[in-house]
Every structure is written in structure tokens, then in C-alpha cells.
Amino acid sequence: MPASSRPKDLVYDPTDPSVMADPFPVYARLREEDPVHWSPSLKSWIVTRYTDVRDLLLSDTLSVNRLLQFYQSLPPADALLLKDIVRYLNLWLAFRDPPDHTRVRRIMRHAFTADAIAEMRPRIEDISDLLLDRLAAAGTKDVDLIKEYALQLPAFVIMDLLDVPRDMLDDFKDWSDDMAVFIGGARNSEDKYERAARGCRNMSTYFRKLIEERTAHPKPGFLMDLINARDEGDKLSDDELVATCILVLFAGHETTTNLIGNATLLLLRNPDELSKLRADPDLIDTTIEEVLRFDGPTNALVRVVAKDHDFHGRKLREGERVFVMVNSANRDPQMFDDADSFDITRKQNRHLTFGQGIHLCLGAKLAREEGRIAIRKLFDRFPDLALDAENPPEWLDAMVPRGTRRLPVKLEG
Ligand code: HEM
């Protein structure tokens, strides 16, 4: 690695609590001093400038398929344990390169239609009202907004979308927490592979049965559209259908929780912006876009180098890992005026939070709708909502997602 040309005191340590709370100062230095940075501790490249992040996401020099290499490096006992989870994850759109990706995405687009998303709007409103009613009825002033609202809202939305009864929430939460120890975003634990395998087994068994039942007894909705989706006669195989349901659950859940959490935190920390939103509720669209840019749920995206190539004078070698730092790109002053100020009226806002290129998020419309409804209703219902001054937010100890694990708030003044 070109360590000699690396500024010696420039270390990016995502596990440092001060970096977790505010990674933006180190991103600014990386963009300025070492935009294609080799991190010896992460054994990965860290790319931080807007144009580089965008160009890399658009290029075919990087691959999303990082599972195979990892799987092949495992001791046989672990590989056996993870056989099933890897079988499904290998079928995830998010981990496939063209031409497989092109084929599956073409089919999936028939289910992710504007109509399917529009149909979800009244349900999002209902879910938001239901959760806020519960909060108001509980009569407690101090709550963790993540646990009581931001986590449940997107979970219920995705469960409704996939036709999973809402009383399955606790099971789904357990299974997805189990799987998350493998997929990333959660802390490591000793029995992480056992947990991941168990979570995947439970989740895939559930979806396989549900798909069989829906196929036998059709019922209109997104799941049925997914089962029926055809592109030039081609359709998803049974395993691809199960894998896709698990992907949609994962892709659409924690990300949106973090959007709602980060939006609440930013508005409470920026009372002038909150006042502007209160004075003009139509600003909710640009508010959500600004949250997505300023401190959005996509901290980084992960890729592996598909073939050796030079990038800004650095030699990227096949198989090396690259963290494409979306949240840093979104603060690049070369791209955004006054990039470090949170401005809910910002007009030019081409943030990269939903990705770029062939893997661009399929659920962006739904996520935006959820964010707008969740925030509008929350601040309408609890006009005196405030941060709990004695209990600061706790940030996720993770490099890819960006959000708070706990967000203690006071519902009333
Ligand atoms: C604020 C919430 C969300 C954010 C920030 C977000 C972000 C992203 C990003 C950055 C990607 C690209 C990943 C990559 O290039 O490696 C992606 C892909 C994807 N997202 Fe989202 N997402 C959100 C919500 C959702 C929702 C609600 C759904 C589903 C209902 C969803 C479904 C997907 C799917 C299926 C993909 C894979 C697309 C592909 O690989 O072609 N996302 N998302």
C-alpha cells in the first residue's frame, strides 16, 4: 500500500466514540488530504469525495459480490453453518453483479411500481397514528423514540407490504436481529454464526410457507405482484422469491428507522429549521431530502475491487475492499454550497443516499413517503417534543448504517 504518501496523523477509526457521534471532521480531512485512503486497521480503501463516490458506484471496476470470497475463507465448520444464509444472500439483488443483477432487477421492477407505493400511503398514515396514539395513551413523558416509534413504523410498513401479520413483529425482530449479526450493522457476538443461521432458517421457512399459501390462494398486493412478476416470460425462482422477501425486509427496515431517528434529532438540534417547517409544512419534502443529505442512513456502501486498476494514482487490486463513503460525499463543498449547514430549504440537493447506478434503491419512494408522514405527524402530535438533556443519543456502533440506537426524548415540556 502507498503508506508513504499517506498523511501520518490521518487515521479513520469508526469505532472511536467521538467519530461515531460526529464523523464529519475526519471525513473533511480525508476529502482534503487523502481522498483515496488506505486504512491499515480496516484493511480497506476509504473513498470520500463526491465525484469519486459517484463515479465508483457507476463503474464496473468494483463489484457488490463480496460474499464468495468471504465464504471461501471460512473454516469448514463455519462454512457448513452458514451454507443456507449464503445461499440466500447470493440471490440478493444487492449482492449480484450483471448479468444476474440485470435480470432479477428487471423482474422486480414489475412489483415496485408507483401504484404499489401509493397504495401504502394510507397505511403509513394509520400506522403512524396508531403508534402516536399508543405513546400518548401510555402517559409517560420520557421515551426512547427509536424503540417506541422509529423502529416500529417501518417494520409495520414492510410487514404490511409483504403481507406478514403485525402480531409477528417480535418474531421478525428476533429473526432479523439474528441475521443482522452476519449481514453487518450489529455488534459481533461469540455465537454470531449460529445466530445468523437460526435467523435465516426461521425467516426463510416463514416466507416459503407464505409464498406457497399466496400462490394457492391469490390476494392482490405487493407480494402477489412479486410472485407474478414476469419479464419476457422470465420470473423469480422459488429461492429468489424467498431471498427477495428477506432482502426487502432488511433493505427497507433499519434504513428507514434511521431516517426517522436522524430527522427527529436534526430538527430538535436545529430549532430555527424546525420553526421554518412549522411555519410552512410544505417544506417537509425538502426537509427529508436535507436530512438524507446532511446525516442520512447510508454512511457507507461496501464494494470489492473486481479487477486491478489505478484510481487517482492508487493501485486498487482485485479482491480488496472499498468503503464508498456516501455521507462524506454528501458534505463535499465541491458539490454543495455551505455543505456543513443543515438547511431545510436547500434547492440543489443531489445527495447519494439512495446510491447511484444499477443498484439505486428500489424503495426510495416508499422511504421518502414514510419519512415525511412520520415526521409531520410526530411534531404535530407532540409540539413540545424535546431532547432529553440528561440522556444523550447513543449512536450505532457500525460503519455502514448511520443512526442512533437510542434517542431519548421528552414528549411534553
Ligand atoms: C431511508 C431509507 C432507505 C435508504 C437510505 C436506502 C438506501 C439504499 C441504497 C444506498 C441502496 C444501494 C445499495 C448499494 O448500492 O450497494 C439501496 C438498495 C436497495 N433498496 Fe433501499 N434504502 C432505503 C429504503 C428502502 C426501502 C423502504 C426498500 C423496500 C421497500 C428498499 C429496497 C431496496 C432494494 C430492494 C435495494 C437493492 C437494489 C439493487 O441492488 O438493485 N430500500 N437502498
* 3-class DSSP state of 377: helix
DSSP string, 397-411: S-SSB--EEE-EEES
Query: Which residue's alpha carbon is at the smallest distance from atom 9 of ligand 1?
Result: 354
Mean pLDDT of 128-145: 94
**Per-residue pLDDT, 189:** 65
Q: Is-contact 243 89, C-beta < 8 A?
A: yes
For every residue of 91-128, DSSP letters joined together read: T-GGG--TTHHHHHHHHHTTTS-HHHHHHHHHHHHHHH
The arithmetic mean of pLDDT across residues 374-388, rounded, is 97
- Give the whole-angstrom CA distance, residue 43 versus residue 333: 28
Of 168 and 3, the structure prediction assigns the larger pLDDT to 168
Would the CB of 46 count as within 6 Å of ligand 1? no
165 half-sphere exposure, CB direction, 13 A CA radius = 4
Q: Whose CA is nearest to atom 21 of ligand 1?
A: 361
Atom from ligand 1 closest to the CA of residue 326: 10
Contact 395, 404 (CB under 8 A): yes
Q: For residue 141, which amino acid is it?
A: K
| 118: its cell numbers | 401509493
- What are 44's three cell numbers? 480497506
Index of the ligand 1 atom closest to the CA of residue 108: 35
Cβ pair 250, 242 in contact under 8 A? no
Q: Which of 124, 226, 321, 361 to mutate to test the pocket of ligand 1 (most atoms within 8 A of CB)?
A: 361
Q: Which three cell numbers stand for residue 136?
A: 400518548
Cβ–ligand 1 contact at 63 (below 6 Å): no
Given a contact cutoff of 8 angstroms between Cβ atoms, the answer to whether 156 and 369 are in contact is no
For 55-96, the pLDDT digits (tens) are 999 999 999 998 877 888 888 988 898 888 899 999 999 999
Distances in whole angstroms, Cα of residue 394 to Cα of each of 146, 175, 251, 265: 11, 23, 22, 11
Q: Which residue, judged by its Cα, is nearest atom 37 of ligand 1?
A: 94
Q: What is the DSSP letter of 355?
A: -
- 27 alpha carbon – ligand 1 mean position (Å): 23
Q: 116: exposed, middle or buried (C-beta count within 10 Å: 0-12, 13-18, 19+)? A: middle
Check pocket membership of 65 for ligand 1, CB cut-off 6 A: no
Residues paired with 409 in a beta bridge: 143, 387
The band of 140, judged by pLDDT with boundaries at 50, 70 and 90, is confident
pLDDT digits (tens, 9 = 90+) for 155-206: 999 999 999 999 999 999 899 888 887 776 445 567 888 888 999 999 999 9
- pLDDT average, residue stretch 29-49: 96
Residue 360 Cα, ligand 1 centroid: separation in angstroms?
A: 7
329 within 8 A of 53, measured Cβ to Cβ: yes
For the Cβ of 86 lying below 6 angstroms from any atom of ligand 1, the answer is: no
In the chain, pLDDT over 70 holds for what percent of residues? 97
Whether residue 250 has its Cβ less than 6 Å from ligand 1: no
* Superfamily (CATH) of domain 3-410: Cytochrome P450 (1.10.630.10)
Q: Is the CB of 362 under 6 A from ligand 1?
A: yes
Residue 105 Cβ contacting ligand 1 at under 6 Å = yes
- Closest residue by CA, ligand 1 atom 22: 361
92 vs 70, 193, 242, 297, CA distance in Å?
16, 19, 10, 20
Confidence band (pLDDT; 50, 70, 90) for 3?
Answer: very low
Query: What single letter denotes the amino acid at residue 32?
Result: E
CA of 410 to the centre of ligand 1 (A): 31
**Residue 297 CB–ligand 1 contact under 6 Å:** yes
What pLDDT does 317 receive? Answer: 97
pLDDT averaged over every residue in the chain: 93
8 A C-beta contact, residue 253 and residue 247: no
Residue 32: per-residue pLDDT: 97
> Which residue, among 142, 114, 398, has the nearest Cα to 254 in the 3D structure?
398
215-274: pLDDT as tens digits: 999 999 999 999 999 888 899 999 999 999 999 998 888 999 999 999 999 999 999 999
Chain segment 93-113, per-residue pLDDT in tens: 999 999 999 999 999 999 999
Task: Determine the average pLDDT of the residues in 304-312.
Answer: 95
Q: Which residues pair with 63 in a beta bridge?
A: 304
Question: Which pLDDT score, from 0 to 100, does residue 231 have?
Answer: 84
Task: Provide the pLDDT for residue 1.
Answer: 47
The residue whose CA has the least distance to atom 19 of ligand 1 is: 361
354 CB within 6 A, ligand 1: yes
H or E element, residue 341: none
Question: With contact defined as beta carbons under 8 Å apart, do 298 and 355 qualify?
Answer: yes
Listed by start position, the domains of the chain span: 3-410
